[in-house]
Amino acid sequence: AQRVTQPEKLLSVFKGAPVELKCNYSYSGSPELFWYVQYSRQRLQLLLRHISRESIKGFTADLNKGETSFHLKKPFAQEEDSAMYYCAPDRAGSYQLTFGKGTKLSVIP
Amino acid sequence: EAGVAQSPRYKIIEKRQSVAFWCNPISGHATLYWYQQILGQGPKLLIQFQNNGVVDDSQLPKDRFSAERLKGVDSTLKIQPAKLEDSAVYLCASKGRFPEAFFGQGTRLTVV
């Protein structure tokens, strides 16, 4: 069965500490992977996608096909990073976009 | 560019009543999604349209939920009759040529 797992419901870190939000997936074929973010009282929005290999707001995510993981990382957390983060595999070719259960990141000042 | 518009923003109904939500996607976006997000959970895909055709409705409870996308533009999602467990935020999203999906603000439904 196709599945995406975000093992942590809540992650609390101090400002300036490194952050790693975990995502593991079980998908047939080669899905495209995304991280979406929802800040308080804002719409769900794209943070980054694995194909672009870019850094957005200091966040990066590396696709590890061997471990089927797509963890989101940032070396120094900021208070404005506090939000809900969702890992989202998109089944290639079908545009079917599914979401993990999400991790709430709380950055403590 | 204008974003995805949804209405109403909030709705409170009694169980067994019916309710409808409306979504206006970004102009030119062929793909439209409806998601159900229960408090504390991630968005769950209910139905996906490509233009006015249904691509995936495997998780839509078809005994009470229905959705349509006439003319491949606006879409409506209906629940009839509603149950208490339908209380959730209903999100609409659209996608164009590029893989990024754009989301509306959502409709918060409370069934009492």
Chain B: nearest CA to A91, how far in angstroms?
A: 11
Instruction: Enter the tokens of residue A63.
Output: 């696709």
Coil, helix or strand at residue B85: helix
- For chain B, say whether A31 makes contact (Cβ under 8 Å): no
pLDDT given for residue B103 in this prediction: 96
pLDDT given for residue A109 in this prediction: 94
**% of chain B at pLDDT higher than 90:** 85
**% of chain A at pLDDT higher than 90:** 61
Residue B38 CA to its chain's centroid (Å): 13
Best mutation target among B59, B95, B100 (most A Cβ atoms within 10 Å) is B100
The phi-psi region of residue B19 (left if phi > 0; otherwise alpha if psi is between -120 and 50; otherwise beta) is beta
pLDDT at A28 over 80: no
Angle at alpha carbon of residue A106, lines to A100 and A107, rounded to 5°: 135
